[in-house]
A = this chain, B = another copy of it.
Amino acid sequence: MKKKLSEIVEIIGGELCGDGEILISGLNRLDMAKEGDLCFAVDGHIEEAKTCAASAVIIPANYVGDFPKTSIKIENPKAAFSKLLEIFVPKIEIPQGVSDKAFVGKNVEIADDATIMPFAYVGDGAKIGNGAIIYPHTFIGHYSSIGEQTIIYSGVTIREYCKIGNRCVIHSSTVIGSDGFGFTTKDGVHTKVPQVGNVIVEDDVEIGANVGIDRAAMGSTVIGHGTKIDNLVHIAHNCKIGANCLIVAQTGISGSTTVGDNVTFGGQVGTVGHIKIGSNSIYAARSGITKNMPENFFGAGFPVQTHSEWLRNQVALQKVPALIKRVVQLEKKISEKEV
């Protein structure tokens, strides 16, 4: 896929500054650009653009300075670039409807414009909403439902009786509704507590790859609407995660923990179970949350403290080796005086 710069200007408009015969074979970021690439630069990135390896750059129309490379000056470089992305990246065609290589159980409701790809398994009594796309090797358990326009990527497991909302995206190899980690121990032998609840994922939730969200022992594990979950996150049984949270990769939320709305967990955060974490809060990466937390909290560290305390402590802890020496000095002086 190659286009002359002059052809590109015909598509997106703008003012061509330089040789329109230049052939563009790809679109790229400034820092990864190579010859044949076209990039875009907004204010704050113009200097970087001047020295990038791209053959041409789309820059803001209002840029007044000298620009040493072939460029297209245009009102909104980013919008123009997005338009080109659609042309340069070939569209993927996924045939609508139910593949004859898929397995569909009894009493399944599949909306007419849903897509079920080869090797997908849809269990008895499941429901697939309008415009939903079920990729290959996905398992939709018995009596589970997938909302409208929701995309389930390859290799996802959604166990029985779970509900996935509308406009959700669930990435590959993620498991929703696996049994919670619940055992009663007698004489050192662990006996499984039946996990008869489910998982409810509300609307507009995105869940990354290789995530595990366990079904409730009873009732539901809930992921609130608009919440976004990164890769390799663990959410244990009976958790209730609020709306519009951001949960970064490798975070683990222990069982029966309730998280409010608009809470951000940085990467590799952990929490104990059976606590309440207030809304509108941010917890820095690696935070270890060991107790109930108020709203509007900016936390860090393990055990968790305010982010400013944590910073202060980090600085102080670096001084401990020197502090020990100072105390030894003081003890020496005191004892001398005592002699």
B190 and A246 within 8 A (CB): yes
Segment of A8-16, A68-76, A86-94, A291-299 in the binding face: A86-94
In whole angstroms, what is the CA distance A174 to B173 when docked?
A: 8
Taking the closest CB of chain B, its distance from the CB of A247, in whole angstroms, is: 9
Contact with B along A325-339 (1 / 0, CB 8 A): 011001101100110
Q: Count identical subunits in the complex.
A: 3
Kindly state whether residue A27 has any CB partner on chain B within 8 Å.
yes
Closest-by-CB residue of B relative to A217 is B29
Kindly state whether residue A32 has any CB partner on chain B within 8 Å.
yes
Taking the closest CB of chain B, its distance from the CB of A119, in whole angstroms, is: 5
In whole angstroms, what is the CA distance A206 to B302 when docked?
A: 30
Contact with B along A208-243 (1 / 0, CB 8 A): 111110101011100000101011101010100000
Kindly state whether residue A42 has any CB partner on chain B within 8 Å.
no
B117 and A196 within 8 A (CB): no
Kindly state whether residue A320 has any CB partner on chain B within 8 Å.
yes
Chain A interface SS verdict (over half): loop
Taking the closest CB of chain B, its distance from the CB of A188, in whole angstroms, is: 5
Contact with B along A305-331 (1 / 0, CB 8 A): 100000011101111110110110011
A–B complex contacts, Cβ < 8 Å, 26 sampled: A82-B194, A85-B218, A103-B136, A118-B121, A119-B119, A119-B121, A121-B154, A135-B139, A139-B155, A157-B172, A157-B209, A171-B178, A175-B209, A183-B246, A188-B262, A190-B226, A208-B212, A232-B234, A236-B249, A254-B267, A272-B285, A312-B321, A313-B317, A323-B323, A327-B327, A327-B330
Interface residues of A (CB under 8 A from B): 27-29, 31-32, 82, 85, 89-90, 92-93, 101, 103, 117-119, 121, 123-125, 135-137, 139, 142-143, 153-155, 157, 159-161, 169, 171-175, 178-179, 181, 183, 188-190, 192, 194, 196, 206, 208-212, 214, 216, 218-220, 226, 228, 230-232, 234, 236, 238, 244, 246, 248-250, 252, 254, 261-262, 267-268, 270, 272, 285-286, 288, 302-303, 305, 312-314, 316-321, 323-324, 326-327, 330-331, 333-334, 337-338
